[in-house]
Structure 1
Amino acid sequence: MINPSINSKQSNPPVALVTGCGRRLGLFIAKQLLQQGYRVLGHYRSRSAELEQLERDGAELFQADFTQPAQINALSEWVNERCSMLSLLLHNASAFAETASTAKEMATQFTEFYHVHMLAPALLTEQLKALLVKADNPSIVAITDIYIHHPNPALATYCATKAGLDNLCQSYARSLAPQIRVNTIEPGPIMFLDSHDDEYKQRILAKTPLAQEGGFEPIWQALAMLIANRYMTGSRIQVDGGRSVAEL
């Protein structure tokens, strides 16, 4: 449950930056934060009809391609210009694909995934921590993956760079304490992609003790708890229907 002090509209509401808010989980969380009374600054890579509605609901949006460091820096400058403090920095932006089949393609893919999963969170954290320390109970949360502990060879590049994000957050949990708390959420099979067929879905759910998709709501519930709990930093919250204790 989120801190009751941010449940209602305020003259100076808490501010959240959500990266990757253009679709799926990031879009869902941005909507939830708006409903909770946050001023939401959202980053996206590609424009969509959902983003137009999010903007009408009150979100302030910035387009940036995280494979380009200059655009990461531009996002930080934009945030610094628009607010005097930041309560939540959510590293949600993600790149996902099966591992490239050739060394040349893998080099390109690894560079892209490294920029999205590791360099962007590092630069944003460094460039926005001065805003975070001005807020009451500031929090950084990164969305990683249960695969960081049990990597899938078919997703080696994705798993490795998500594991790098986890390690980065563990370092920040130490270096930014006690002023800023840093935690991570590790989703499991929360929402299948449109490209996943029924055979794939059934195979994954058969290895998931709770035997169902979680949806985005359980991730939001974990995030709300991390925001509210002032005595948690360096924590990894698995939200995966028990899949991490089963055979991946």
Structure 2
Amino acid sequence: MKNYALVTGSADRIGKAVAVHLANQGYHLVLHYNSSKEKAEKLKNEIESIYENIKVELLQINFLKENDFNQIFKDLKKKKVIVDLLVNCASDFIPSNFEEEGSELFEKEMTINFKNPYLLTKAFASVFGKGNIINFIDTKATKNSTVHLDYILSKKLLSDFTKISAVELAPHIRVNGIAPGLILPPEGKDESYLLNLAKNIPLKSIGSLDEIVKAVQFILDSTFFTGQILYIDGGEHLV
């Protein structure tokens, strides 16, 4: 039996798919959520009903507030919740460009998408000292033309931080990233929105959550693999 995996933003979408996959692989889970308490509780119940030996803890954290992640991890450790996999999946995706005034959106995107994975990584290394970290980035982080300026800046930082962390935290912690492309439509859009965008990428098709969990599993299985970004994007980052 494995130790615990902490998945941020685990109540829905990619985070949920990753959490279910990890339970299937024998990980106990710490499911992080902010406001999606009902969804998180439902997921906890679903996992515990399917996998009788899997323990699931719920962890509510608002990433827009100041949080003492070292203390949060120490409290988990006191409860014998030993985390050896941190999946930084929670993110905020809001359009922006050079016409927006002020720094409010910039600060929000940086806080949720970069600052919190940064702080969680440091706390994980300090309190638990070994294991794996997987950061969810975005294939668009390779681009310099965007209608999501603040979001993409935060993901570019997270991409570079993934590589820095892989060097600084080795050999006891491996750090890698996954950069999804056309996997799930944004809220308010449907699959046809993705299919239209897919016309412009090399494979001219869209991906699935199954492709994401395959990437997660590859990282976990590949013990000589660190500091890498897996682009699950049909070649989108190449064009």
* TM bucket, shorter chain: 0.7 to 0.9
TM-score (norm 1): 0.85
Amino acid at match of 2:62: D
- Structure 1: where are the runs of 5+ without partners? 1-9
CA distance in 1 between partners of 2:43 and 2:192 (Å):
34
CA distance in 2 between partners of 1:102 and 1:208 (Å):
29
Deviation per residue, 1:183-208 (Å, 9 max, x gap) = 11111111112422677434311012
Query: 1:170 aligned to 2:163?
Result: yes
Query: 1:103 aligned to 2:101?
Result: yes
Determine if contact 1:94/1:117 at 8 Å carries over to the other structure: yes
Amino acid at match of 1:103: E
Alignment-derived partner of residue 34 in structure 1: 23
**Root-mean-square deviation over aligned CA pairs:** 2.1
Query: 1:115 aligned to 2:104?
Result: no
- Residue in structure 1 matching 2:62, options 56, 62, 65: 65
Deviation per residue, 1:21-50 (Å, 9 max, x gap) = 011000111111111111110111122543
Counting aligned pairs with the same residue, the percent is 27
TM-score (norm 2): 0.88
Determine if contact 1:185/1:237 at 8 Å carries over to the other structure: yes
Determine if contact 2:4/2:84 at 8 Å carries over to the other structure: yes
Report how far residue 131 of structure 1 moved: 4.4
Deviation per residue, 1:129-174 (Å, 9 max, x gap) = 144435xxx1111000111111442101000001111111111111
SS in 1 for 2:67: helix
SS in 1 for 2:179: strand
- Structure 2: where are the runs of 5+ without partners? 49-55
SS in 2 for 1:25: helix
Range 176-185 or range 77-86, more displaced: 77-86
Alignment-derived partner of residue 86 in structure 2: 89
Amino acid at match of 2:36: R
SS in 1 for 2:76: helix
CA distance in 2 between partners of 1:237 and 1:94 (Å):
18
CA distance in 1 between partners of 2:220 and 2:113 (Å):
21
CA distance in 2 between partners of 1:210 and 1:72 (Å):
41
CA distance in 1 between partners of 2:95 and 2:218 (Å):
32
Report how far residue 77 of structure 1 moved: 4.4
Report how far residue 78 of structure 1 moved: 4.1
Alignment-derived partner of residue 221 in structure 1: 214
Alignment-derived partner of residue 196 in structure 1: 189
Q: How does 1:228-239 map to 2 (within 5 A)?
A: 228-239=221-232
SS in 1 for 2:147: helix
Alpha-carbon spacing, 1:209–1:152, altered in 2? closer, same or farther (3 Å): same
Report how far residue 175 of structure 1 moved: 0.5
SS in 2 for 1:89: strand
CA distance in 2 between partners of 1:116 and 1:81 (Å):
27
Determine if contact 1:20/1:44 at 8 Å carries over to the other structure: yes
Paired positions, count: 230
